[in-house]
Amino acid sequence: MKTARHQAIVQLIRQHETLATEELASLLHVSKETIRRDLSALQTQGKIIRLHGCAKSIKRENRDSGDPFNARLKSHHTSKADIARQALQWVNDGMVIALDASSTCWYLAKQLPDIDITVFTNSERICQELSKREHIQLISSGGLLQRKYACYVNPAIVSQLKELEIDLFVFSCEGIDKEGTLWDSNRYNAEFKSLLLKRALQSLLLIDKSKMNRAGEIKIGSLENVMQVISEP
């Protein structure tokens, strides 16, 4: 019975692309608690993406079904700000750090002290935030702006990175599955993260607990490539 319900949930979500937990419970005539357990299991299996109060279909063929930056900024914002604050202890004078275009890294950028560091990023919003600092040297990846994700896409980024030695790459991701695979929801940010994971001397993953045991649409690397994971206590 559970297997049949899981199949029905996946089919319904594929048909509607996104469905609220309450809608699924009503359609399948079960409680919201049952649906929440079902969605948690299906997310672990990599069959759906679970969001706050709803679930959406995984569309691996277009690789561009991530949530807009503004929506991510409002999700779990207290946890993200706290996680970002813990990351500050890893930042020291003279370092070259790279930040991805995640909302968690934006919270980190807001809290960075105005010290002698270099920040490399593909994030439009982080560029806007750090442009106010006098002592931070800011390097943008540049390229085409993807407004939905507030990130830049630059095909020449490999050549650009030849001139930089990244001491620390700080990033977030869509989820970590049980095998330790890191996932993301859109190819623009995923390509940047995959590249920096290979190039940086060390990497720091900032992630809230809602993304644990959760698959996504695009693999960006493995937990083995990460020096430290920072999450809620």
Pick the closest to residue 67 from 13, 18, 128 (CA basis).
18
CATH number at residue 109: 3.40.50.1360
Shared domain for 41 and 86, answered yes or no, is: no
pLDDT in tens, 18-68: 888 888 888 888 898 898 888 888 877 777 877 778 887 766 544 555 666
Last residue of a domain, one of 36, 57, 78: 57
Burial (CB < 10 A; 0-12, 13-18, 19+), residue 220, is buried
Pick the closest to residue 108 from 90, 94, 93 (CA basis).
90
Looking at every residue in the chain, the average pLDDT score rounds to: 87
Low-confidence ranges of the chain (pLDDT < 50): 61-62
Q: What is the CA 151 to chain-centroid distance, rounded?
A: 12
Shared domain for 125 and 215, answered yes or no, is: yes
Domain that holds residue 2: 1-57
